[in-house]
Amino acid sequence: MPFTEFWTWLEGLPLAEHIGFTWWFPFLESIHVLAIAFLVGSILMVDLRLLGVAALGYAASRLTREFIPWTWGAFCVAVVTGIGMFMTRAATYIEHPPFQIKLVLLLLAGLNMALFQFRTFRDIAEWDNAAVTPIAARVAGATSLLLWAGVVLAGRWIGHTI
Amino acid sequence: MRESLASALAESQAREAAVYLLGNVPGLPPIAQSLHILGIAVVMASIVMVDLKFLGLAVPSQNVSEMIRRLMPWTWWALLLNAVTGLLFVVARPHRYFFNPVVGWKFSMLVPAVALAFVVHRLSTREAGYWEQSSGRRLSARVIAAVSLVLWIGVVLAGRWIAYSDYLFFYE
């Protein structure tokens, strides 16, 4: 694994040891779960609209715009608390397959979102209020749902295997 | 009463079934827990979103009565899913949960949170626009929403701490 010294150095930081040996770890973990539930909830609402399943009375662009700040806010909290837990055993986590899978799924979820934002979202005016959304929007919504469910599962898997 | 219920469960066939499933279906424990977390995500996307709307913090373009009608059924289905996925673990190890103080905290927040969600949904179903009709009702809605929000956050945090109760109560 590259940067082995870095991961080991990270684990040795006083902050990492403090988190690992005190109530900070479960505290961060509980905030992490709360943030992820909120994050996935807000994404779910947008994805179901893209799939043409729910909230059909609302314009897709408006719905997306109103939820995105919440999604990003929750994501930031999840990242900060996640890094806090990661640094307690960085060298172990980085080599742990479920952890690696979780990172790959997160990356794919990000790519899917970027692709949607820069390709499908550009001609949203044509289908913004339509109940039947274009196939590209439906694929983006379904992919996002599957990837985020995968992120949650991989995350829980880490807890059972490390 | 609690002891006899826990013992009855511990000796029941339901426990044998739960223990068998959790031990023999590959990946079932993390899968059931993930479904539990996804259920919580739906709670966040329904009743918690309604709370945030009542408080004037989220989704300015949506109407709160319409939100309640559209989103609250999701809350009840999600809570059913969470009851099933949660009970799987409780039935498998009843004493671990029945005598865990953190479980007590979780349910002392969950029961009022569910009751408030029921009141919000019920009154709005009986009378469309119920929560928007007078300044008194708008104020009660905001108070209920604030309490509900705090309770749901508490339920999720306590839920995660159940696994750490040994650490809280028997540390050193």
| Percentage with pLDDT > 70 across chain A | 99
CB contact under 8 A, B37 and A149: no
Name which of A44, A54, A66 is nearest B59 (Cβ-Cβ). Answer: A66
Tell whether A128 is within 8 A of chain B (Cβ): no
Q: How far apart are CA A121 and CA B21, in angstroms?
A: 44
pLDDT digits (tens, 9 = 90+) for A128-150: 999 899 999 999 999 999 999 99
Residue A2 has what pLDDT?
A: 77
- A1/B48: higher pLDDT: B48
Rg of chain A over all Cα atoms, to the nearest angstrom: 18
Sign of torsion, CA B62 A68 A116 B71? negative
The residue among A34, A56, A36, A35 whose CA lies nearest residue A45 is A56
State the residue for tokens 């949960």: B97
Q: How far apart are CA B137 and CA B160, in angstroms?
A: 35
* A36 interaction partners in chain B (CB closer than 8 Å): 37, 41
pLDDT digits (tens, 9 = 90+) for B89-117: 999 999 999 999 999 999 999 999 999 99
Task: Return phi, psi of residue B64, to 5°.
Answer: -70, -35
If you ran DSSP here, which 8-state letter would residue A56 be given?
A: T
| Closest CA–CA distance from residue B118 to any residue of chain A (Å) | 20
* Contact yes or no for A10/A16 (Cβ under 8 A): yes
Sign of torsion, CA A64 A67 A69 A74? negative
The alpha carbon of residue A55 and the mean position of all alpha carbons in its chain are separated, in whole angstroms, by: 22
Q: How far apart are CA B143 and CA A17, in angstroms?
A: 41
First to last CA, chain B: 31
CB contact under 8 A, A153 and B34: yes
Q: What are the angstrom distances between the C-alpha of B73 and each of A24, A147, B47, B118, B166?
A: 36, 25, 10, 11, 36
pLDDT digits (tens, 9 = 90+) for A11-57: 999 999 999 999 999 999 999 999 999 999 999 999 999 999 999 99
| Closest CA–CA distance from residue B105 to any residue of chain A (Å) | 15
The residue among A102, A93, A101 whose CA lies nearest residue A20 is A93
CA-based angle B126:B130:B133, to the nearest 5?
150
pLDDT digits (tens, 9 = 90+) for B46-75: 999 999 999 999 999 999 999 999 999 999
- 3-state secondary structure string across A87-102: HHHHHHHHCCHHHHHH
Tell whether A70 is within 8 A of chain B (Cβ): yes
Tell whether A162 is within 8 A of chain B (Cβ): no
Q: How far apart are CA A41 and CA A126, in angstroms?
A: 27
Mean per-residue pLDDT for A92-119? Answer: 96
Binned at pLDDT 50, 70 and 90, residue B170 comes out as low
ipTM: 0.94
Chain mean pLDDT for chain A: 95
| Closest CA–CA distance from residue A37 to any residue of chain B (Å) | 4
* B30 interaction partners in chain A (CB closer than 8 Å): 153, 156-157, 159-160
Residue A3 pLDDT > 90? no
Q: How far apart are CA B4 and CA A29, in angstroms?
A: 34
Binned at pLDDT 50, 70 and 90, residue B172 comes out as very low
Mean per-residue pLDDT for A71-88? Answer: 98
* B109 interaction partners in chain A (CB closer than 8 Å): none
- B20/A120: higher pLDDT: B20
* Contact yes or no for A82/A32 (Cβ under 8 A): yes
* A72 interaction partners in chain B (CB closer than 8 Å): none
Q: How far apart are CA A100 and CA B8, in angstroms?
A: 43
Q: How far apart are CA A111 and CA A129, in angstroms?
A: 25
Residue in chain A lying closest to B46 (CA): A41
| Closest CA–CA distance from residue A3 to any residue of chain B (Å) | 30
